[in-house]
Structure formats: structure tokens, C-alpha cells
């Protein structure tokens, strides 16, 4: 499970915290309140019937554990002078997941982005529009950073694969061999790398993972892809030297163990793994 990541956006001069966890984004209502002129509290927002109905609809769509019985009770009391509801009470009574009130490192009241945008209207229509704009800019920046880092690793692997296949063609493929024969040799050499790094052939992996699409390399970690690209270069060099396949496999396995020991502990690689 990915850890909670905190970011900050600036909305018309107000710093607003955004936390991301389990692929969902929550925005701080506590921070948003700082932009509101006059006294206004989250509890005031929760006293409004339209707010309660909106929250209930959102939970019914996104939360299979939503307590409809308690929600009906709360909804029936909205508008009464005695009606008062805190975020904590809302969550405890209805099992809601769209709002959360917490203490500690990420203390304050947070709302799922869908609900936070709605709350932004209560600050002002202008604030809501700027909130949406700044949040989208944050997500676009994160996506660009993640994509560029991940694509760099993928591109490196593809480039080295071309070097690897060129070496196979130059040193292992006999002249005038049928295309089918070439594919067999390529598959064999691919399994040299698979055995050295993953300890299993492509066919064995497919047999053990018949429910998955693609191949084992599609499910590889960033550290494994980095190591794989290095092994492809080394194997191409060993092929050019005329080393027998069995000798190359043993040597590549030793190198894979050494490199993976280093890569799994590398902070930059670990950071890439989390963004994968």
C-alpha cells in the first residue's frame, strides 16, 4: 500500500494542503476556511440540507459500506433548531469515507476532492474555480514528473534490448536461417536473461500466471528493469566474445544478484518504485 503523500497548492494567496492515499486525493477544508470572510465553520456547512443530500449521494456512489439507516435519520433532522453535526459524528454514524477529521501530522478536516470542490463554492464561486484550477495543475505536474522518470527507465530498457538483439543476430544467427529459427534463438537468449534475473523462463512464468496478460517483464519492478537493461548489454558483450550460453548464464546470474542487492536499497530507485 502506498504511503500518504502531502502537497500544497496556493489558491488566491491561501495555502491549501492536499493529501493523496490509495490513489485518492483529499483537500484540507480547514485550510480553505482561512480564505472565508467572516465567521464560518464546517459545522455550518453540514447544517445545510443540500449539503447533507449531496454528501449522501456521493457516499452512495463511492462507498459500499455507507450506513443508509443513519443517513436517513440525519437527513430527517436537518433544519431543526436542535440539529448539530460534526464531521467526526458524520463519519462515525454513517461510515462515510468522503470526509475525515484527524489529528497528528496531517491534522485537520479533509474532504475528497469531489466534496472539497463543492465546499469551495461556500467560500466563493471564484475561490472554487481557482481551487479546481490549482488542483488540476498539481496533478498534471505530478503526472509529468512520474511519466518522465518511468519512461526514462522504459526507454533505456528498449534501447538496450535493441543492442542485445543486434548482437544475437550478428553472432548467433546462422546465415540464411528461416525467420522461425531466428525467433527460437531470440526466445532462447531472452530466457537466459529471464533465468539469470527472475530464476524462471517465460513459458514457466506464463504457466504459473495464466490469469495475467503480457509477460513477466510487464510486471517487473523498476529495480529489475534497470538490472535487466544492464544484463542485456553484458550478454551482448559476452556473445561477441564467443562465450557459451551456459557460461554466460552463470556469470549473468552472479551479476544480477550483485546488482539487485544494491538497487533494492538505492533511495532513488525506491522513490521510482513508489511512483510506478
Please give the grid coordinates belonging to residue 124.
Answer: 466563493
Q: How high is the pLDDT of residue 180?
A: 55
Please give the grid coordinates belonging to residue 117.
Answer: 470542490
Taking only the tens place, the pLDDT of each residue in 245-260 is 888 888 988 898 888 8
What are the domain boundaries of the chain? 5-123, 144-275
Give the residue among 7, 12, 44, 13 at the shortest CA–CA distance from 127.
12
146 or 223, which is more confident: 223
Please give the grid coordinates belonging to residue 256.
Answer: 544480477
- Residue 144 in this model has a pLDDT that exceeds 80: no
Q: How high is the pLDDT of residue 173?
A: 47
Instruction: Give percent of the chain above pLDDT 90.
Output: 36
Q: How high is the pLDDT of residue 212?
A: 86
Using CA atoms, how far apart are residues 212 and 144, in angstroms rounded to an integer?
A: 28
Taking only the tens place, the pLDDT of each residue in 4-20 is 788 999 999 999 999 98
Using CA atoms, how far apart are residues 229 and 54, in angstroms rounded to an integer?
A: 51
71 or 188, which is more confident: 71
Using CA atoms, how far apart are residues 113 and 119, in angstroms rounded to an integer?
A: 10
Query: What sign does the CA torsion over 193, 194, 198, 200 have?
Result: negative
pTM reported for the whole predicted model: 0.53
Q: What is the 3-state secondary structure (H, E, C) of 68-135?
A: HHHHHHHHHHCCCCCCCCCHHHHHHHHCCCCEEEECCCCCEEEEEHHHHHHHHHHHCHHHHHHHHHHH
Amino acid at each position: 500500500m502506498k504511503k500518504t503523500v502531502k502537497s500544497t497548492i496556493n489558491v488566491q494567496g491561501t495555502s491549501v494542503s492536499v493529501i493523496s492515499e490509495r490513489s485518492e486525493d483529499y483537500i484540507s477544508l480547514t485550510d480553505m476556511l482561512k480564505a472565508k470572510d467572516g465567521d464560518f465553520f464546517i459545522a455550518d456547512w453540514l447544517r445545510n440540507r443540500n449539503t447533507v443530500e449531496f454528501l449522501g449521494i456521493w457516499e452512495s456512489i463511492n462507498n459500499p459500506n455507507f450506513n443508509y439507516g443513519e443517513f436517513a435519520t440525519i437527513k430527517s433532522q436537518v433544519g431543526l433548531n436542535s440539529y448539530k453535526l460534526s464531521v467526526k459524528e458524520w463519519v462515525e454514524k454513517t461510515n462515510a469515507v468522503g470526509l475525515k477529521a484527524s489529528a497528528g501530522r496531517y491534522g485537520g478536516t479533509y474532504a475528497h476532492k469531489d466534496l472539497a470542490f463543492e465546499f469551495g463554492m461556500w467560500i466563493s464561486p471564484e475561490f472554487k474555480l481557482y481551487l479546481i484550477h490549482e488542483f488540476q495543475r498539481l496533478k498534471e505536474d505530478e503526472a509529468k514528473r512520474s511519466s518522465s522518470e518511468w519512461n526514462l527507465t522504459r526507454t533505456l530498457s528498449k534501447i538496450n534490448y535493441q543492442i542485445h538483439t543486434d548482437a544475437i543476430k550478428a553472432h548467433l544467427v546462422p546465415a540464411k536461417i528461416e525467420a522461425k529459427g531466428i525467433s527460437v534463438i531470440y526466445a532462447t537468449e531472452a530466457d537466459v536473461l529471464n533465468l539469470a534475473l527472475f530464476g524462471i523462463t517465460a513459458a514457466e512464468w506464463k504457466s504459473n500466471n495464466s490469469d495475467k496478460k503480457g509477460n513477466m517483464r510487464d510486471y517487473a519492478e523498476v529495480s529489475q528493469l534497470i538490472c535487466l537493461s544492464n544484463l542485456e548489454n553484458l550478454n551482448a558483450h559476452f556473445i561477441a566474445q564467443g562465450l557459451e550460453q551456459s557460461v554466460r548464464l552463470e556469470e549473468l546470474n552472479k551479476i544480477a544478484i550483485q546488482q539487485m542487492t544494491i538497487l533494492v536499497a538505492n533511495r532513488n530507485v525506491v522513490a521510482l518504485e513508489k511512483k510506478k
